[in-house]
Each structure stands twice: as structure tokens, then as C-alpha cells.
Copies of this chain bind each other. A is one copy, B any other.
Amino acid sequence: MTELALRPDPEERREGPAAPPTPVSMQQAINLALARALEEDDTTLVFGEDVGPLGGVFRVTDGLQRRFGDHRVFDTPLAESAIVGVAVGLAMNGWRPVPELQFDGFAYPAVDQIVNQMARMHYRTRGAAPMPITLRLPSFGGIQAPEHHGESLEALFAHVPGLKVVVPADPGEAYRLLLQSVRADDPVVFMEPKARYWDRAPIGATEPADPIGTARVVRPGRHATLIAWGSMVHRCLQVAELAAEDGVHLEVLDLRWLKPIDTATLAESVRRTRRAVVVHEAPLTAGLGGEVAALVGEHAFSSLAAPVERVAGYDVPYPAGPLERQYLPSVDRILFAVQRTLEFQRA
């Protein structure tokens, strides 16, 4: 039995967050957001597998334990279900937990605590138990990782009443959305697109965050709307760039909040462009693309000039390294879908 003995070095504690170097990687942006959250609220706790001295397998929590002490930032045993269950108990005792699960594919053992406990405790207790947990989950593919290290669980989480779900697409977004999630009083699943951890950009640390549940138009356009989140936002921007060369102006919508979904922005865009392509990494069937297509159908039916196209991972287990490129939506596949939607003729 060991103790939570190590206390923060008071010198380091006093320093405050290092001035954000410009530009910073998404990894660093999340680190800065965590540091700020730990600083501004003494009840914030960061924990998970290897988040302490190692600083996390992606170094996202680098230096946090040294700075805030191992009572605020600590390693747990290798037990995902307990990590979430412990977060629930901490929240019931007035803390603001920010647990990490090391990889998307290792969130499955915690699904019971996430769905049956974390998401429902506030409801079950008629609002008596606060549940301001932000569950960080390095997510999605694109890094040719071993099995289980490239999963897309957003459809599962988005289906669970009581949860909120968000995916940042760039460092600034990651910074703002994470702080917003930690400050929020509801449980948030914060899905970090691993493939973008090393992207660098200025984060605009003082910019205010948009309200929870709002999407953002990252590139305006008029011929069709590409809808995506996480890494696929970048892929859609590439596609839009290419299409523009041919005079096709694609709007790119970063949905970012996958629960609640910003139906208003989604509908407004598609009503204008009359065509929609939704892109995600998760397998096609029962993926969140179905929800997006349904919402578009419900809110922009009369404007729609073509079926909503879905470009997604195939309905196969996430394949090994060299096949990943074939599995993930490619620029080509998205372009084919754009072409289909543009050329669609009613029968």
C-alpha cells in the first residue's frame, strides 16, 4: 500500500502556465488546457494509466504531475472500468475528475461504468449527484497502430442519454473545447484525434469558446456541404481545395459536438448547398453518418437535390498498418461521393 504522499513543489506551483508558444501542437494544447483547468479549480483531478511520471503515452499530461503534485495528477492501476467508476465516486464527493482512458479500443471495458453509471447518475439521483466528469479518450485511426488502437466509438457514445460528446479538429479547438468540457457540469466524452496530435497551430488561448453543441463552418462553399469531425475535417478541407480548382466550391462543416448535434447549422448549410456528404472513420453501418443523413433529411428535405452521401470506414474490423490507408475515407473516395451528389439525377 503506497500513499498519495508527493506534494507539488511550491515553487513550480507558483509559476502559472507557461506562456503558450505559438504555434503549439494539439498535444501541447491539451496539456495547456489541463494545466489551466488544474490551476483554476482545486477540485480538478487528472488520472489514468501512465499519465503521471510518463506524461501519458502521447505526452499529453507531460509535466502535470510534477507541477500539481501526485494528489492532483496520478497514475491508476490498469483497470478501465474502475477508472471511470472511481471518477463517478469522486464526482459524488465534489471533485471534478478528468480521467483518461489510454486508447479508444480500451474504452470498451469501461462501457458499463460509462453508460450505466456516469451517464445516469445525475438522472438517477434527481440532480443530487454532480457528475462533471470529462473522460479523455485518444481516438480514431491514421497512425498505423496495433489492433484496438484506432477505434471510432462516437456512435456508441452519441447514443447514450446523459452524455455529451465532442471531437476537436485542431489545437486551438482542442484547447477551448477541453477547458469548456472540464468546466461544464455534465459528463463529456472528449475524443482526441490521435492522428492530429502533432499538428501545430496558434491556439488563441484567450478566444472565448462557442456554446456547447455548436458546429462550425471551417470553409464556406455553395455547391455541397462536407460534414466531418476530427481528422476527417482536414481530409475534407483537402478535398475542398482540390474541388475548388475545378470550380466546385464545397462548404466544410466541422460538426465537433456529436452530442448534442448542431442541427440548426447543419440544416442551414445543406438548405443552402442542397447537397451533403458526411465523412467518418467509423464503419459505415450504424455509424453517426446515418444520424447526420437522417437529420439532413428531416430538416432540409425540400432543398435536397441528391441523396446524402456517406463516406465511411468499411464494415470490417480495423485492419492492420498497410491496409489502414485503404480503410479510411480517402480524398479520392470523398471526391467520388462529391461527384455522385453533383451529378445525381432524379429517376
Interface on A for B, CB 8 Å cutoff?
81, 105, 108-109, 111-112, 115-116, 119-120, 123-124, 147-148, 155-156, 158-162, 259-261, 282-283, 285-295, 297-298, 301-304, 306-308, 310, 314-317, 344, 346-347
Contacts and interface: CB of A to CB of B under 8 A. Distances in A.
Contact of A290 (B109, B112, B115, B291): B291
B291 A285 contact: yes
B317 A120 contact: yes
Closest 10 CB pairs of A and B: A290-B290, A293-B294, A108-B112, A159-B286, A302-B347, A290-B291, A158-B286, A290-B294, A301-B307, A111-B111
Contacts of A290: 286, 288, 290-295
A343 to B, nearest CB: 13
Of A119, A290, A314, which is in contact with the most chain B CB atoms at under 10 Å from its CB? Answer: A290
Number of copies: 2
B285 A289 contact: no
Nearest to A306: B301
Contacts of A293: 290, 293-294, 297-298
A76 B161 CA distance: 31
A136 to B, nearest CB: 19
A315 B258 CA distance: 14
A109 B112 contact: yes
A149 to B, nearest CB: 12
Nearest to A295: B290
Given A155-B155, A302-B347, A315 B112 contact: no
A159 B304 CA distance: 27
